[in-house]
Chain A
């Protein structure tokens, strides 16, 4: 899996859009970008994934640059419950002869301020 680089922490005001960046400059053509988050004392939760087009679901939007070397996760109206560690992961789903584990880095600790 390609490595990712994320800022260790970010603050965002409640009600504002939270924009979380991720660099993945060595991503290969068939690797997807995944985002997970982990709220304190809980297991990680899937948020969204994409290959090259921008994606949106009920939780967030994912913007991937045209060269695919970076992406941004957007939480459009952040709430206090969005305070969590956010992980950006790149991988090829179902690659190789068997299961491929997700490799989590240290992520970004997003703190939503009231």
Chain B
């Protein structure tokens, strides 16, 4: 069974803290993604990576950074958490390009609250 696992289901952090959200996939996928989801706004892409040590900005990268040191792991970093980063964070992975019509697999999500 394919798996995308996010390290925490719920997280509460203080304003100004450095926050790490971890995502691991066991499918040997090249592509990994971080989204945030907020009521009324749908899913918005923060960053994605198509290979180890490669990263691309999505639609809303401000206030975030990412790390992909190993193929199976993609980390989202909030350098200095702020209350407007309270959200549901979703990680996804997908096989590499050239595979037409491939589907993405999502983790269960991390609900982050910044107080």
Contact = CB atoms under 8 A, between A and B. Distances in A.
Q: Is A bound to B?
A: yes
Interface of A: 32, 34, 36, 41-46, 49, 51, 87, 93-95, 98-99, 101-107
Interface stretch (B11-19, B79-87, B99-107): B99-107
A93 B94 CA distance: 10
Contact of A94 (B58, B90, B92, B96): B96
Given A49-B103, A93-B102, A98-B56, A103 B45 contact: yes
Interface string B13-42: 000000000000000001111010000111
B50 A98 contact: yes
14 contacts: A32-B100, A43-B90, A43-B92, A43-B109, A44-B90, A49-B101, A94-B96, A94-B98, A94-B100, A98-B51, A98-B54, A99-B30, A102-B104, A103-B45
Given A93-B99, A94-B98, A104 B43 contact: yes
Contacts, number: 77
B10 to A, nearest CB: 11
Interface of B: 4, 30-33, 35, 40-45, 48-51, 54, 56, 58-59, 90, 92, 94, 96-109
Given A34-B103, A107-B42, 13 more contacts: A32-B101, A36-B104, A46-B105, A87-B42, A94-B99, A98-B54, A99-B50, A102-B33, A102-B92, A102-B104, A106-B40, A106-B41, A106-B42
B9 to A, nearest CB: 9
A114 to B, nearest CB: 25
Contacts of B45: 101-103
Contact of B33 (A46, A49, A101): A101
Nearest to A92: B100
